[in-house]
Chains A and B, each alone.
Chain A
Amino acid sequence: MSSVALDVESKDVHSHDDHEHHGNFWTNYVFSFDHKVIAKQYLISGIFWAIIGGGLSLLFRIQLGFPEANLEWLRPLLGDWITESGKMDTTFYLAAVTMHGTIMVFFVLTAGLSGTFSNFLIPLQIGARDMASGFMNMLSYWLFFLASVIMFASLFASTGPASGGWVIYPPLSALPQAVSGSGIGMTLWLVSMVFFIASSLLGSINYISTVINLRTAGMSFAKMPLTIWSFFITAIIGTLSFPVLFAAALLLVFDRSFGTSFYLSDIYIQGELLEHSGGSPILFQHLFWFLGHPEVYIVLLPALGLTSEVISTNSRKPIFGYRAMIGSMLGIAFLSFIVWAHHMFVSGMNPFLGTIFMFLTLIIAVPSAVKAFNYITTLFRGNIIFTPAMLFSIGLVSLFISGGVTGIILGNSALDIQLHDTYFVVAHFHLVMGSAAFFGMMAGVYHWYPKMFGRMMNSAMGYVHFWLTFIGAYMVFFPMHYIGIAGFPRRYYSFTNFDAFSTFTDLNTFISIAAILTVTAQFIFVFNFFWSMFRGRLAPLNPWNATTLEWTTPRKPGHGNWPGALPVVYRWPYDYSKPDADKDGFTDFIPQNVPLSKTEHSNTPEEKVLAQLDEKFDQLGEEREKNPFI
């Protein structure tokens, strides 16, 4: 801990304000230790990756929607990946699907989402000057950057990027003779992911230690905003599961390059018998999904956390069931480690395991349902203001439900026999994970943009962006249920080889057009985002009338976040529309840093008792100014 302490103490916390910048360009904007700068670096990288990932999806949607079309016009972009007859190369199709999945899951929704908001909000909402270790934080981003560069480079490999699906099951991913993407492309994929995992671990450890150690006076765990709870729990899941992916990847590297046989056995390929023997491809799947399932919650929980905050603030109501929300997140986090094999019901693993995992999987639906109910009840009898962030949050709840309910079907091993690896699964996870997490991210950007850049985003563009994206997401992913029920397998370049799958051509065209429109609509956001940075209206200090600590900082918080002493926290973050608050001189919200002793009229009976502790917190606050580690 001592080095951590040094990091924080070495910061000259009182003398900074908005316009003062010490250090040079490199230390302020590039290798910055400041959590806010790092958050923005993650966000902008995330946006970059989202554009790449979205673009790839359009490429394969064009193929699926217009299988007959001549794609000669894509040659300038794809070169020889367009065959002489003007068709998309079938291997390229797989590569595009694989890279789309990898980029979206890891680079956009893990790094772009957690990296941005955990970094930005943890110190600001718990009342800390910065992360526990600014250096590790900086390192975390730059390892991610390195991972990004390598992954991006792999797109240009002559034999193509990895193409065995984002789950990279061996032997396909282990044998370059099986698919050309398993050559240098796969090597780069693995190297990139190693750096990615290292980055993610550095980030997570930092988030965990910051939340545990650097909460300001009075900020007990029971007063923490749900955002922080979600980042905290996500970081714990990440620390426990990413190392397993690392192990899985490492063994794959050995199999690929050093002749070991962890995953390989009895293989005869391209007229040649391989020496590998005794390995098990199923082992890889267990290891992969031991990360893979928690990963989907790593992606989703931060989005849910952001949404909790946004929905409560804009309903002008406390979040319903604060404790149940925390409880269900803890439950989900725990259960997420013991359901992984629901991705493997028909992999050939022992059917008895299937029974166990079906049982555990369906349990996880319960805390998920509780969360959905709590969001809806929070809206009930609220006084709702529709900011773009609020719209995206309501959209998230909708997508979370519509994608989540099909999980109940898929989690039933007997039903999963038919549905596994069909478009039904694609519909499920794009709604519940892809779209929901994306909506959470958008909610977060719209809501905290004023704190990030000191200016407001244009809300009219935000509204248009929301409605197009919301309707678009449903237009794209809802019909996939039908296609899945009809049995269409995923990762198919075209369906014309099969009588059974030769239907739904119109629907596939429809989906592709919807996808193109939806992706296009995202440029409204991109424009709004960059334009508002310079031309947006100057942000008021607390534009959404929110209670949490970040809104007590200056318009553009400098290094150390608060120019004066750190705020002291006296109450939970959801005192919205508290009865009799007006008698205490407040409107419909009471910020967390308002002492209970100043709100005699609106205090609940328990708070009346707690109000006597206010002084203790003040004292603690003063002492913590001297030593942040008590």
Chain B
Amino acid sequence: MTTALLFATGAILIIAVLALVYRIITLVGIAKGDQKKTKVTTSNKINAALFPIVLIVGSGLIMWSFNDAKQFFLPEAASIHGKETDHLFWITMGIVFTAFALTHLLLFTFPFLFQFSEKRKADFNPHNDTLEIAWTAVPAIVMAVLVIFGWRAWADITAPATEDAIQVELMGKQFAWEIRYPGKDLKLGRYDVANIDNTNSMGVDYDDVNAQDDFTAREIYLPVGREIELKIRAIDVIHSVFLPHFRVKMDAVPGMPTRFKFTPTITTAEMRQKTNNPKFNYELACTEVCGYGHFGMRKLVKVVTQKEYDEWLMKQKPWLEKNPDYLSQWEAKKAKTASVAKSH
């Protein structure tokens, strides 16, 4: 309620001030006999002068706000490709910011320099081929260079994962992520949404031998320095896997499995030191709107040393072991569908 009152008073105040300004301007206008012998009034000068003023104040604000905001940017990228794309991002940002600054320098000073004057006449200068070719060519070349760098980074990132990459399955659903590891055989078993039931929430196909030792986890554990291949899918609507600290993003699409490979380079513990934040954690977020709980689809990511990872692996039990009753249930279900299929 207080906020509402605050806004209401704020709005009223502003309107009052504007009304006053307007009233004064019109009164002055009337006093001066407004509709004028000259082509323009003093307001032309004011508007002309406001552009360079906005330019100067604006530049100051941009610099200050950037410096102030920097502290809240994500810490350094914690993956190999992330380092590269960050680098490319800031270089590109430098280039486009220069373009932005130079064009604005002209755009905001010309109005002041070339404001109306009775004494001057505008140039009649309809075109200039050299100039036009130059400013077509320069952006074209810059774009070409950027494309080449972007293309190389993109090709690396999207290349197939190596043989010994660790596979981790992430499954999005409203409104949670589920995580599955391949177990000792390093192979994820098959799945099918049709297998989903109250226990088997990922629809894993336990007829597949590769699935027998698969295990699920509540957090994403990753060893540092190893290539990870995320196997991404969704079972209801589109979600999107976003690991901001690793510069990883890939949609999770029902009916169309996707993938993303990356190599974490900084453990959670190291990052806690780097950021001076003992509570720091890597996080997984959803970045494709998926319903009312979209903003809450979070999972923790723990990057640990290889040794810690191995220890953790040792402790994990296959899902089937943790759900000993399930296999009989599974067989019964299979038998039922088989007999239904036969009777048709």
Q: Which residues of A contact B (CB under 8 A)?
A: 66, 69-70, 72-73, 89-91, 94, 164-165, 169, 171-172, 175, 178-179, 264-269, 273, 277, 279-282, 315-324, 346-348, 351, 354-355, 358-359, 362-363, 365-366, 369-370, 372-377, 379-386, 391, 394, 397-398, 401-402, 405-406, 408-409, 412-415, 417-418, 420-422, 458-461, 463-464, 467, 470-471, 474, 478-479, 482, 485-487, 489-495, 497-501, 503-504, 507, 516-517, 520-521, 523-524, 537, 574, 576-579, 588
How many A-B contacts are there with CB distance less than 8 Å? 370
Residue of B122, B203, B236, B283 with highest tally of chain A CB at under 10 A: B122
CB distance from B28 to the nearest CB of A (A): 9
Q: Majority SS of interface residues in chain B? A: helix
A residues less than 8 Å from B72 (CB atoms): 482, 486, 503-504
Q: How many Å from the CB of B39 to the closest CB on chain A?
A: 7
Residues B158 and A379 in contact, CB atoms below 8 Å apart = no
Beyond A348-B253, A359-B147, A500-B74, whether A385 also contacts B236 by CB under 8 A is no
Given A178-B291, A359-B147, A383-B120, residue A499 in contact with residue B279 (CB < 8 A): yes
Q: B residues within 8 A CB of A346?
A: 240, 249-251
One of B92-100, B161-169, B176-184, B217-225 contacting the partner = B92-100
Cβ-neighbour of A315 out of B51, B93, B108, B114 (below 8 A) = B114
Q: A66-B3, A499-B283, A507-B69 are in contact. Are A418 and B14 (CB under 8 A)?
A: no
A53 vs B10: C-alpha distance in the bound complex, in angstroms?
22
Q: List 10 additional A-B contacts (Cβ < 8 Å) besides A370-B139, A401-B99.
A: A178-B237, A316-B121, A321-B128, A358-B154, A362-B146, A383-B115, A385-B44, A418-B244, A507-B69, A577-B122
Contact flag A500-B194 (CB < 8 Å), given A268-B235, A348-B253, A413-B150: no
Q: Please determine whether A351 and B114 come into contact, CB atoms closer than 8 angstroms.
A: no
A320 to B124, CA, bound (A): 9
User: What class of interface size applies to chain B in its complex with A?
Assistant: 35 or more
B254 within 8 A of A: yes
CA distance A213 to B69 in the complex (A): 56
Once the chains are docked, how many angstroms separate the CA of A466 from the CA of B131?
32
Asked if A381 and B51 make an inter-chain contact with CB atoms under 8 angstroms apart, the answer reads no
Q: B39: which A residues are within 8 A, CB to CB? A: 385
Contact status B147-A358, CB under 8 Å: yes
Which residues of A lie under 8 Å from residue B143 when comparing CB positions? 362-363, 365-366, 408
**Given A359-B151, A499-B283: A281 and B111 within 8 A (CB)?**
no
- Is B60's CB within 8 Å of the partner chain A? no
* Chain B interface residues toward A at CB < 8 A: 1, 3-4, 7, 10-11, 14-15, 18, 21-22, 25-26, 29, 35, 39-40, 43-44, 46-48, 50-51, 54, 58, 62, 65-66, 69, 72-74, 82, 84-85, 88-89, 92-93, 95-97, 99-100, 103-104, 106-108, 110-111, 114-117, 120-128, 131-132, 135-136, 139-140, 143-144, 146-147, 150-151, 153-155, 157-158, 173-174, 192-194, 196, 203, 232, 235-238, 240, 242, 244-245, 247-251, 253-256, 258, 279-281, 283, 285-296, 298
- Across the interface, which residues of B come within 8 angstroms of A500, CB to CB? 74, 244-245, 283, 285
- Asked if residues A409 and B96 are in contact (CB atoms below 8 Å), the reply is yes
CB distance from A137 to the nearest CB of B (A): 34
B236 x A171 contact (CB < 8 A) = yes
**Across the interface, which residues of B come within 8 angstroms of A487, CB to CB?**
74, 242, 244
Most buried by B among A347, A415, A470: A415
- With A381-B125, A383-B121, A420-B287 already in contact, the answer to whether A516 and B7 are too (CB < 8 A) is yes
Question: 7 A-B pairs, CB-CB below 8 angstroms?
Answer: A171-B236, A265-B256, A346-B250, A366-B139, A408-B95, A497-B296, A500-B245
* Contact yes or no, B122 A489, CB < 8 A: no
Q: Are A394 and B154 in contact (CB under 8 A)?
A: no
B291 CB, nearest partner CB in chain A, Å: 4
Contacts of B95 in A (CB 8 A): 408
Task: Name the residue of chain B whose CB is nearest to the CB of A456.
Answer: B35
What A residues does B18 contact at CB under 8 A? 464, 524
Question: When chains A and B are docked, how far (Å) is the Cα of A365 from the Cα of B147?
Answer: 12
Whole-angstrom distance between the Cβ of B336 and the nearest chain A Cβ: 15
Assess whether A381 is in contact with B99, with CB atoms less than 8 Å apart: no
| Bound CA–CA A100/B66 (angstroms) | 29
The smallest beta-carbon distance between A36 and chain B, in angstroms, is 26
**Which of B25, B46, B173, B253 has the most chain A CB within a 10 Å cutoff?**
B253
- Contact (Cβ within 8 A) B65 A482: yes
B146 contacts A370, C-beta separation under 8 Å: no
Instruction: For the complex formed, measure the closest distance between the CB of A132 and the CB atoms of chain B, giving whole angstroms.
Output: 31
CB–CB A421/B287 < 8 A: yes
Contacts of B108 in A (CB 8 A): 398
How many angstroms from the CA of A415 to the CA of B146 in the assembled complex? 11
A383 touches B111 (CB 8 A): no
Would A351 and B283 be within 8 Å (CB), given that A365-B143, A408-B143 are in contact? no
Can you name the residue of chain B whose Cβ is closest to the Cβ of A177? B236
Could you tell me if B251 and A269 are in contact, using CB atoms closer than 8 angstroms? no
